Structure 1
Amino acid sequence: MNDLTERVGLIAGYGVLPLEFVRSAKKEGFTVVSVGLTENSFSLLKNITDNSVFCPIGKPMEIIDYLKTQGVKNIGFAGKVDKKIIFTSINEFDEHARKILKNAGRLNDVSIMNQIIDFIETNGLEVISQLRFLKSIVAQEGSLNQIKIDEEDISEFRNYYQITRKIADLDIGQTVVFKDGAVIAVEGIEGTDATLYRSHELGVEGSVICKVSRPSQDPRYDLPVIGLDTIDVLKKISASALVIQANGTLVTDYDEVMNNSEMAGIKIYGLSENLKK
């Protein structure tokens, strides 16, 4: 029936991506056992997964023990986790979580996630690629909605993409806001939405937002994601376009995202790493 055991685990942050994961896995006939890292994600998942529990991110061994008792061998990650929790709630982290952070050294996303995955797999579970169940919502190349895009637009988008790629390669941020060739804002620890609002506070309208993956992106976690919430923010800041990495960005609620962006006059364009399109 599939290439995994018939039970799959999901460690879920907030947002709609975990719902997409569950729908796809269920469609293939999997039993899905979920761990909600937030009360919100637990609330959303408890009625659509076969078994579910709420467990905060600072208690990794409890998460592993629960999944094992449910007969799970393979797990996936989906959804957002607010990185600020590392600084605001570290007193609530258990000894295992503290050791993970210590071993990470640098508190960037890649270092932390690599240590988390190493901890999980050392304790007998295998972390699968997000694309195993989310391949159907990966953005393709070219114009993704029906708004006309000309060669001048494409040239501008390519330039912005190259700049954003260099910034992401330095592990600074994955999202950059541009206007008329100038960099207006670069994503930091505050996350994408806060970065976009910060750019708008400068009085900038008609901006172009570019979002790419990290260098050597590990498909087991944190692929770039856009969705209806993204479009809502773009409308609020009066953005003109969103440029994303083709074949490496997930689009939740795809049809609604494209319809809503068209109605708002926001261009959405997918660029591949070779920048041919």
Structure 2
Amino acid sequence: MAAMTKLGIIAGGGQFPLLVAKAARDNGRETVVVAHRGESWPELAEVADHCQWVKLGQLQKLLNFFHRHGVTECVLAGTITKTRMFRDIWPDFKALALWRRIDARQDDAILRALAGLLADEGIQVAPSTLYLQNLLFPRGVLGQKKPDEQQWEDIRFGWRIARQVGALDIGQCVVVRDRAVLAVEAIEGTDAAIKRGGELAGELAVVVKVRKPNQDFRFDLPAIGPRTISGMSEVKAAVLAVEAGQALLFDPEETVRLADRAGIAILGLSEEEGGELSCRP
């Protein structure tokens, strides 16, 4: 049965790879983890049945490790600091060959190319939420604060812009105020975009984070957690609107507690027919 086979985990940074490894183990899977130096948490080695540390770009080493342990299914979990590909990458011949085949070096193109290479090697990429559907962002207002009408206008405006930005595979998050775009997430990531846009707003910025059109659930899901709220609090942002069911929510109780303390409205939305946004649970 598939539930008893080995699961490969290509781990980036943050707590998500650790949660994936624990959930896989709880579901009877033997875990074979490839962890990235400078990104992955050291605790992964304690949870994994087998763990190999690599530098970013050591693709052949990753493949050899998976093949040695008979891995035929894997997940990609966790973040890789995107700016590292300009200053701290050790590409081997396999990685260089893959890199040269990618026309647009953007998230989806890179990850789809990697998934294609893994498939060619007999390793299928499964959704990163394979055993963690409970981490998907819920629909509804999660804390005590609710957006006012002006903020709802900014949410609707930001939602349209974020969807268009996502279609270009640039990012998944925008920061707006008074229907003006203050920051668009690009290679620097969500936290940096919030800081930049929030500082331009002065206060009361609205942060909108949505899935990309044709989002591939195997990788690169948007993620929200306490650090997101702490960053918003530092720039006195007012609202965080996230597409429900299309993003990950880490440490929900702590995230909501921080939002309530900072007076930040945090809500999960769905797009209804006709483009209307709804936060009804």
Q: Could you state the TM-score of these two structures normalised by the residue count of structure 2?
A: 0.91
Q: Which amino acid aligns with 1:75?
A: C
CA distance in 2, matches of 1:27, 1:258: 27
Maintained 8 Å contact 2:4/2:28? no
**Partner of 1:116 in structure 2?**
114
Q: Which amino acid aligns with 2:107?
A: D
Maintained 8 Å contact 1:7/1:72? yes
Matches within 5 A, 1:83-98: 83-90=82-89, 92-98=90-96
**Partner of 1:64 in structure 2?**
63
CA distance in 2, matches of 1:151, 1:59: 50
- Which piece of structure 1 moves more, 219-228 or 66-75? 66-75
CA distance in 2, matches of 1:214, 1:5: 33
Paired residues, number? 275
Structure 2 vs 1, CA of residues 165 and 125 (structure 1 numbering), >3 Å: closer, same or farther? same
CA distance in 1, matches of 2:228, 2:16: 13
Structure 2 vs 1, CA of residues 11 and 254 (structure 1 numbering), >3 Å: closer, same or farther? same
Offset from partner CA, 1:172-223 (integer Å, 9 cap, x none):
2211111122111111211111112222443621111111122211111101
Structure 2 vs 1, CA of residues 198 and 159 (structure 1 numbering), >3 Å: closer, same or farther? closer
Q: Could you list the runs of 5+ residues in structure 1 that have no partner in the other structure? A: none
**Partner of 2:177 in structure 1?**
179
Structure 1 residue 96, shift from structure 2 partner:
0.9
Q: Which amino acid aligns with 1:177?
A: V
Maintained 8 Å contact 1:33/1:50? yes
Offset from partner CA, 1:224-260 (integer Å, 9 cap, x none):
0111211111111111111111110101112211122
Structure 2 vs 1, CA of residues 40 and 189 (structure 1 numbering), >3 Å: closer, same or farther? closer
**Partner of 1:195 in structure 2?**
193
Report the secondary structure of 1:217's partner residue.
coil
Q: Over the residues paired in the alignment, what is the CA RMSD in angstroms? A: 1.9
CA distance in 1, matches of 2:2, 2:141: 34
**Partner of 1:131 in structure 2?**
129
Q: Percent identity?
A: 32
Report the secondary structure of 1:58's partner residue.
coil
Maintained 8 Å contact 1:42/1:54? no
